[in-house]
Structures are given as C-alpha cells and as structure tokens.
Amino acid sequence: MADFAAHGAVTGPPVVCLHGLTRNHKDFLGVIDPIRMLGRRVLALDIRGRGRSDWDPNPANYNPLIYTQDVLGILHTLEVKRAVFLGTSMGGIITMLVAAFSPQTIAGAVLNDIGPEFDPNGIKRIQSYVGKIRTAANWDEAASMIRTIGGAAFPGRDDAFWMEFARKTCIETKDGIVFDYDPAIAKVAASPQDQSLPTLWDQFSCLKPIPTALIRGALSDLLSNFIVERMQAIKPDMIYAEVPNVGHAPTLEELEAWTVIENLIKRTNLI
C-alpha cells in the first residue's frame, strides 16, 4: 500500500484506489498528485498477491469477497470510517461489494470500465494471458510483450507509453523481468466455458444513494454499451464519461476520465 497525505487543507474523506486483476498501486501514479491537490489523502492499495502485498499460499483466497474483507480491514486499522473509492476493473467489483456489505464506508465511488455484468469477449481475452506470460530478459522485451497483450486497447501509442506501462506492471528479479503478481491468480481467473460468471446488479444497486461515476473506454471489450445503459437506468444521476480510442481500461490520466474523477471528488467535499 502507498499512503499519501493531502496537499494543503483537507477538503474531504480520503480516496482509496483499487487496481485491476493483474495490476498494483502504480496504476494510479498519474492521478495521485492531482487528487492530493484537491485536498485528499490517497490510499493506493496492493490487493493480496500483487505489488507490495504478500502472495497467499492458498489460491482460493484470491477472490473478490476476501479482497473486500481485506480492504475493510485495512480501513478499520487506519481508522478511516469513510472514503471515496476509485476502482479499476476488479477494483470496481470490490467497490460494489463494499457498497453491499458496508455502504456507510463509501462517500463516493468511481467505477473505471467495469459494471455489474461482464462482456464474455473481455473475459476470454483476460483468461488468455493471466499467469501465462513468460519472463522477459530486459525492459525492452517486457514492453514489447505488454504491447502485444494490450495493443488493441491502446492503439497508436508510442514506445515510451509501453515502457512506462511495463515499469508499472512488472518487476525485475534475478531471473529476469516478470509481472508483479502471483501467477496463481490465474487459477481463480479461469472458469469453465459453460459456466457463466455471477452478476453484481444487486450490489451495484447499493450505490443508488451514493455519489457515483462511471468511466468507460470506448473500445472496451469488458463493459458493453448495453450494460452501461442498464446501469444508467438503475442510477440516473450517475456521472458518466467515455474515453475515446481506449479499451479496457482507461489509465485515468485522460482528460475525460480525470474530469469525472475531479467532479465526483468535489461532490464529497466537507461542508
């Protein structure tokens, strides 16, 4: 976990940043300082098995219910009673579960390219690479590997973009450069082809009284327009923005994404 104090006077509850399935707290480095400038403490968590968190010897614990308990436990330890949740993909799933189990904890929520239901195309793509990527001999090779995986989601990006991407998602070991997560999470990410994933519509509905925003990558293969429309029908006051020429998931540094984040955070300012 990375804990950053607010710049200047505190204007409202902390912002808790929750990353996606194979990522870590470094996903949020581009928006942490801008959030701090809004007068907010930022808690960027590494979910168990990723980044600075330990790997779990029992892969069965790599599931959103356990992650949600972890997040609530961390906030309890830090004596944080309320926070704005900024969740990318899996982080958004955790956010919806927190809304169901402990709605008083959420002052506001931003869901980044995730909804209560998942497009099967995106699930198949994720399952195709999680835990299956070989070790890279150097950073240039790591950046090339990541471009192969994510190029469709970020078309036209230059070498510098992919190198930065690699350094956020990988670590250097004595054996080479590897993704910064426990490969055992692939066992949980995998599911039989004939088994549909559970939906979270009831959990999403728990956000109805809470200021909420949704960001979607226009090229997303995980969050379809149909799912977005159903979410808007359930929560008509939800802030919504689509980031052009980006798939799953926006980096949050895009103007469209940052505008939504800033708007949502300001709605939770202390009065």
pLDDT, average across residues 50-70: 96
Residue type, 25: H
Instruction: Give the strand pairing for 15-18 and 176-179.
Output: unpaired
Range(s) of the domain holding residue 107: 2-122+198-266
Supply 89's token pair: 């993909």
Structural domains counted in the chain: 1
For residue 78, being part of any structural domain is answered with yes
pLDDT, average across residues 201-211: 98
| CB distance 229 to 68 below 8 Å | no
* pLDDT reported for residue 186: 82
Q: Which of 58, 126, 66, 127 is nearest to 93 (CA)?
A: 66
For residue 82, being part of any structural domain is answered with yes
pTM score, two decimals? 0.95
* pLDDT reported for residue 269: 94
For residue 17, being part of any structural domain is answered with yes
For residue 177, being part of any structural domain is answered with no
* pLDDT reported for residue 196: 66
Residue 193 has pLDDT above 60, yes or no: no
* pLDDT reported for residue 121: 85
For residue 172, being part of any structural domain is answered with no
Question: pLDDT tens across 27-54, in order?
Answer: 999 999 999 999 999 999 999 999 999 9
For residue 167, being part of any structural domain is answered with no
Question: pLDDT tens across 78-131, in order?
Answer: 999 999 999 999 999 999 999 999 999 999 999 999 999 999 888 888 887 776
Residue 188 has pLDDT above 80, yes or no: no
* pLDDT reported for residue 194: 46
For residue 115, being part of any structural domain is answered with yes
For residue 236, being part of any structural domain is answered with yes
Task: Report the mean per-residue pLDDT for the chain.
Answer: 94
Q: What is the CATH number of the domain that holds 234?
A: 3.40.50.1820
Phi-psi region of 175 (alpha: psi -120 to 50; beta: other; left: phi over 0): alpha
Residue 19 has pLDDT above 60, yes or no: yes
Supply 85's token pair: 């949740």
Quickly list DSSP for the chain: -EEEPPSSS--SS-EEEE--TT--GGGGHHHHHHHHHTT--EEE---TTBTTSPPPS-GGG-SHHHHHHHHHHHHHHTT---EEEEEETHHHHHHHHHHHH-GGGEEEEEEES--SS--HHHHHHHHHHTT-PPPBSSHHHHHHHHHHHHTTTSTT--HHHHHHHHHHHEEEETTEEEESB-TTHHHHH---TT-PPPP-HHHHHTTTTS-EEEEEETT-SSS-HHHHHHHHHH-TT-EEEEETT--S---S-SHHHHHHHHHHHHTT---
pLDDT confidence of 189, banded at 50, 70, 90?
Answer: low
